[in-house]
């Protein structure tokens, strides 16, 4: 027998508490609607990673699919979403933007070298032609993440967007 969405929300809160994530860190809300229900988890603390909460929350997701087409069947599905609150998302974006700006300025001065974006697991490089690329740290060194295009000195908005979307 499956548990209700309200019971799933309570069980998720309990599971998160066991790993030190309390109601001060996240908000867990349940909702029901005609096609099913949902657990909506909002992270209120920037030190909590979406991937960590998502691992715990996805256990409670229940989506029925057609055996042949893979389409989602209507009714009785429980969806789970995990996201940062608007305030936390803005704070994290600003942190990435500040760190990317420092690294970008160092990269401009040292063309063709990888400059670490401190605290985010990424580096940036600027070629002799002015093309900017971000690089993700791996166990083996760095792997090319994405070519961000040409930037004018001090313009880190696209670079920080790429890093934010990859890191969080």
Instruction: Tell me the DSSP string of 91-123.
Output: HHHHHHHHHHHHHHHHHHHTTTS-EEETTTTEE
Output the pLDDT for position 112: 55
pLDDT band at 166 (very low <50, low <70, confident <90, very high): low
Buried b (16+ CB within 10 A) or exposed e, 33-67: eeebbbbbbbbeebebeeeebbebbeebebeeeee
Mean pLDDT of 63-74: 90
Average pLDDT, the chain: 82
3-state helix, strand, coil in the chain (%, to 5): 35, 30, 35
pLDDT band at 147 (very low <50, low <70, confident <90, very high): low
Helix (H) or strand (E) holding 78: strand 77-84
pTM: 0.72
Output the pLDDT for position 121: 76
Output the pLDDT for position 51: 87
Mean pLDDT of 8-31: 95
Output the pLDDT for position 126: 73
Q: Where do the structural domains in the chain lie, given as residue ranges?
A: 5-84, 89-167
**Residue 21 pLDDT > 80:** yes
pLDDT band at 96 (very low <50, low <70, confident <90, very high): confident
Output the pLDDT for position 83: 93
């Amino acid at each position: 027998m499956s548990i209700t969405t309200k019971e799933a929300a309570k069980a998720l809160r309990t599971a998160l508490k066991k790993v030190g994530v309390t109601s001060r860190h996240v908000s867990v809300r349940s909702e029901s609607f005609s096609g099913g229900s949902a657990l909506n988890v909002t992270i209120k603390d920037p030190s909590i990673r979406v991937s960590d909460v998502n691992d715990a929350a996805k256990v409670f997701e229940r989506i029925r699919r057609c055996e042949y087409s893979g389409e989602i069947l209507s009714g009785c599905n429980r969806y789970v979403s995990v996201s940062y609150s608007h305030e936390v998302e803005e704070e994290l974006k600003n942190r990435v933007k500040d760190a990317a700006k420092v690294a970008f300025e160092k990269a401009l001065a040292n063309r063709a070298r990888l400059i670490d974006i401190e605290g985010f697991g990424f580096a940036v490089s600027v070629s002799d032609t002015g093309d900017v690329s971000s690089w993700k740290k791996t166990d083996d060194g760095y792997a090319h993440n994405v070519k961000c295009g040409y930037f004018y000195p001090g313009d880190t908005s696209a670079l920080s967007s790429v890093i934010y979307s990859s890191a969080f």
